[in-house]
Structure 1
Amino acid sequence: MMEFREIDRSNYWDCISLTVDDSQKWFVADNKWSLVEAAYEDGLYTLGVYHGDTMVGFILYDFDDTIPGWSMSRFMIGKQYQGKGYGKQAVVAFLDYFKKKHNAEKLYISVSLDNAVVRGMYADIGFEEIKEVAYLFPGRQFREMQMVKKL
């Protein structure tokens, strides 16, 4: 069973120790970067994804004025925990957690066009593709598919 705990002094080292495989590094920002952003920007919420007492992943979510709507901006499962079904379990559990906490009707995500496996997982959970978006993030062009799930 997956559960979520806010990132704080007691668990931030566990969070920054989680990394993805080198082949995935362009799909999600490094957790250290995400925690720094959350510390200095308002309205960014960070959660550790736990399986039992072990942090296996990380979520950053926010209300994105450009959509406008709630967005799961960052989601990752540590490379040592991948391939065990934790990603799908965590997203399904987060949807329930998020709906109860924020009483929202929709949740948006953006997924790299190059990340077919994760796009498929989100589609299996019920996310629908909306539109392709492109942006620069430090000096690199990214192309993503924006998706939405009605809660």
Structure 2
Amino acid sequence: MEFRKIDKSNYWDCISLTVDDSQEGFVADNKRSLVEAAYEDGLYTLGIYHKETMVGFVLYDYDDTFPGWSMSRFMLGKQFQGKGYGKMAARAFLDYFKEKHNADKLYISVSLENTVARKMYASIGFEEIKEIEYTFLGMQFKEMQMVKEL
């Protein structure tokens, strides 16, 4: 697994990646994430590559509410799911992130309904901290906040 910044050369590959219909409420659309990153400071976007193919997307940032670094978005294209890329990419991102930012923790928030992702993150050492509820653009969200000591 390799991580590459999203730029003019690969943004179409990124916005072409979508999740299965059953997962739509679990992660923001990549187009939305790229727009947010273009206009908000401190959001970092990366394509997840297997060989020369972009298979997923990561957006991370420093979040003052924790405070700490947060992997805000992590997704694999539906055509690449079920092949072991998710766990492999998450582990590789932890190594990439630790080397780049020398941080001691990484937070994530996962939809309470996304039991597959919660189980995967727990299997690589993330611990569930607390349930959080919030409203964004008029929609209610319930998530599990998790943390990984690096």
TM-score by length of 2: 0.99
Corresponding residue number in structure 2 for 1:125: 124
In the alignment, residue 120 of structure 1 is paired with which amino acid? K
Q: Percent identity?
A: 80
The Cα shift of 1:106 comes to 0.3
Corresponding residue number in structure 2 for 1:23: 22
The Cα shift of 1:140 comes to 1.3
Q: What CA distance in whole angstroms lies between the structure 2 residues aligned with 1:89 and 1:77?
A: 11
Query: 1:88-114 deviations in whole A, cap 9, x for unaligned?
Result: 000000000000000000000000000
Mark the runs of 5 or more structure 2 residues left unpaired by the alignment: none
In the alignment, residue 76 of structure 1 is paired with which amino acid? M
Kindly report which structure 2 residues correspond to 1:65-144, keeping only aligned pairs within 5 A, or say none: 65-144=64-143
Q: Any runs of at least 4 consecutive aligned residues in structure 1 with deviations exceeding 4 A, and if so which?
A: none
The Cα shift of 1:137 comes to 1.9
1:35 partnered with 2:16: no
Q: What CA distance in whole angstroms lies between the structure 2 residues aligned with 1:71 and 1:27?
A: 16
Q: What CA distance in whole angstroms lies between the structure 1 residues aligned with 2:73 and 2:136?
A: 14
Q: What CA distance in whole angstroms lies between the structure 2 residues aligned with 1:146 and 1:56?
A: 25
Corresponding residue number in structure 2 for 1:49: 48
Query: 1:33-78 deviations in whole A, cap 9, x for unaligned?
Result: 0000000000000000000000000000000000100000000000
Q: What CA distance in whole angstroms lies between the structure 2 residues aligned with 1:107 and 1:9?
A: 28
Mark the runs of 5 or more structure 1 residues left unpaired by the alignment: none
Q: Residue 110 of structure 1 aligns to a residue in which SS?
A: strand
